[in-house]
Amino acid sequence: MNRAFVETLESADAGRGAVEALPVPQSYRAAVLLEEEQEMFAGVPMADRQPGKALHLREVATPEPGPGEALIAVMASAINYNTVWSALFAPVPTFQFLKRYARTGGLAARHDLPYHVLGSDLSGVVLRTGPGVRLWKPGDRVVAHCLSVELEEPEGHDDTMLDPQQRIWGYETNFGGLGELALVKANQLMPKAAHLTWEEAAAPGLVNSTAYRQLVSQHGAVMRQGDNVLIWGAAGGLGSYATQYVLNGGGTPICVVSNEQKAEICRAMGASAVIDRSVEQYRFWADEQTPDPREWRRLGERIRELTGGDDPDIVFEHPGRETFGASVYVARRGGVVVTCASTSGFRHEYDNRYLWMHLKRIVGSHFANYREAWLANRLVTRARIHPTLSAAYPLDRVRQAVDEVHGNQHHGKVGVLCLADEGGGVSDPETRARHENAINRFRA
């Protein structure tokens, strides 16, 4: 994209006319996987796969927005763990999702391409809207949540996450956010927080909405004031928002992290109960097949030391196999383990006696419906939840960004600058000045 194009998008007073006058480029640069490479890691153990190797920057054709869709000029995006999974081609190559989507017909057929533009977060400017879009117009500064639904069937009309055609944009659909342009459904759009830079604004989306549903929403753990919440990976993507929700909601987070720097970030957020799992050296598995309940108990004792004797009302789960048995064990009688992932393996093992005899519940949670994503974003626009960006890389260093997240070398979120330069996009400096410390807390 040329500089004048980006400058027009950047200028705070670029109205609808100025943006509509911009020509739509016929192609754009994007981070893609290639279908011809989907077997590149075949036979390579997961531990030896390097996701960055699968990513390429390519010039791809610009899709035309259809009815109810919008074409976005992407100023910034963020790395989510689903992009790591995509680039590992695990558990399945995402080209399978694109083909399945395409088989539903109509506009979905466009998504089946020999390349997959990844990315499930963006901040940017609406460039064009398709027929029938009324709420959004060219020039609007937006973020996009990643829920793609069709809502043609009845199942999703109470809770859009239950739509049989529910997909995660940029993971199970094409034209995602890690490019200079992106195609979204207009009902993915939400206002960008005026006090944040483009890269800060792009950071919360996916993980913030997920943490909101998982902890706060009626569909998740319905956290109450006073609850003790054990948060795995409390300074990571999901956990850095979960910690904020617990603190905002009058609960006590018990933050688990793996080094002192992350422990310090949690304390700076306001958490006083922090467990450094690398110091404690928990070994929840005696060997690959045998969980070690003594180690679950040791974690439980440490939690009680920190809470004055209480067990967690809620356990915020996502590491999966490695921790799940411990999570079920340490939850209080009647407590909830709410899970949205299995980073360390999806075949979990836990002792069911601790679940049924102590009337605990396991709740599955996945992303968020539009309303939940909107409420989570509203907290960001009101500066009640802050982005947890630690670094932002230009698009041509996207491989490094993905490898860092895969290697757990990051804190909070890693951003990607697509069209924007770092630091741009703030149109409410007064609000920003009031929250500068919190906004920059995760900066390396």
Residues that bind ligand NDP (CB under 6 A): 80-82, 206-207, 210, 232-233, 235-239, 256-258, 262, 277, 318-319, 322-323, 340-341, 343-344, 366-367, 405, 408
* Residue 231, C-beta contacts closer than 8 angstroms, at least 6 positions apart: 239, 242, 243, 246, 253, 254, 255, 256, 316
Decide whether 279 or 357 has the Cβ nearer to ligand NDP: 279
Q: How far is the CB of 56 from ligand NDP (least distance, A)?
A: 22
Distance of CA 187 to the CA centre of its chain: 18
Nearer to ligand NDP, 123 or 214 (CB): 214
**What sign does the CA torsion over 162, 382, 317, 216 have?**
negative
Which residue's CB is nearer to ligand NDP, number 19 or number 231?
Answer: 231
Between 83 and 129, name the residue whose CB sits nearer to ligand NDP: 83
Nearer to ligand NDP, 141 or 262 (CB): 262
Least distance (Å) from ligand NDP to the CB of residue 325? 12
Strand spans (E) along 35-130: 56-61, 69-78, 115-117, 122-129
CB of 71 to ligand NDP, least distance (A): 25
Shortest distance in whole angstroms from residue 107 CB to ligand NDP: 24
Q: Does residue 91 have a cis peptide bond before it, meaning omega lies within 30 degrees of 0? A: yes
Least distance to ligand NDP from the beta carbon of 391, Å?
Answer: 12
- What count of Cα atoms within 13 Å lies in the side-chain half-sphere of residue 21? 8
Smallest Cα–Cα separation from 34: which of 121, 88, 113, 100?
113
CB atoms within 10 A of CB 280: 14
**Which residue lies nearer to ligand NDP by CB, 207 or 420?**
207
**Cβ-contact 179, 237 below 8 angstroms:** no
In terms of CB distance, is 115 or 367 closer to ligand NDP? Answer: 367
Give the integer Cα–Cα distance in Å for 343 and 329: 19
SS3 392: strand
Q: Closer CB to ligand NDP, residue 223 or residue 274? A: 274
C-beta of 107 vs 340, nearer to ligand NDP: 340
Q: How big is the CA angle at 428 (ends 425 and 432), to the nearest 5 degrees?
A: 95
Contact 190, 147 (CB under 8 A): no
Residue 80 or 129 with smaller CB distance to ligand NDP: 80
**Amino acid (one-letter) located at 400:** Q
Shortest Å distance, C-beta 278 to ligand NDP: 8
Least separation in angstroms between residue 263's CB and ligand NDP is 9
Of 236, 274, 270, nearest to 255 by C-alpha is: 274
Burial (CB count <10 Å: 0-12, 13-18, 19+), residue 308: exposed
Nearest approach, Cβ of residue 54 and ligand NDP (Å):
16
In the bound complex, what is the minimum distance in angstroms from residue 369's beta carbon to ligand NDP? Answer: 12
406/49 Cα distance (integer angstroms)? 10
Cα separation, 182 vs 131, whole angstroms: 17
Contact of 291 with 325, CB cutoff 8 Å: yes
- How far apart CA 100 and CA 102 sit, in angstroms, is 5
| Of residues 175 and 442, the one with the C-beta less far from ligand NDP | 442
Q: Using the minimum distance from each CB to ligand NDP, give the nearer residue, 63 or 236.
A: 236
* Distant-in-sequence, close-in-space partners of 172: CB < 8 Å, separation ≥ 6: 94, 97, 98, 101, 148
Smallest separation (angstroms) from ligand NDP to the CB of 24: 31
The token pair at 70 is 């919008």
- Shortest reach from residue 183's CB to ligand NDP, in Å: 21
Tokens for 86, please give them.
């995509």
Which of 53, 189, 54 lies closest to 133 in space, CA to CA? 189
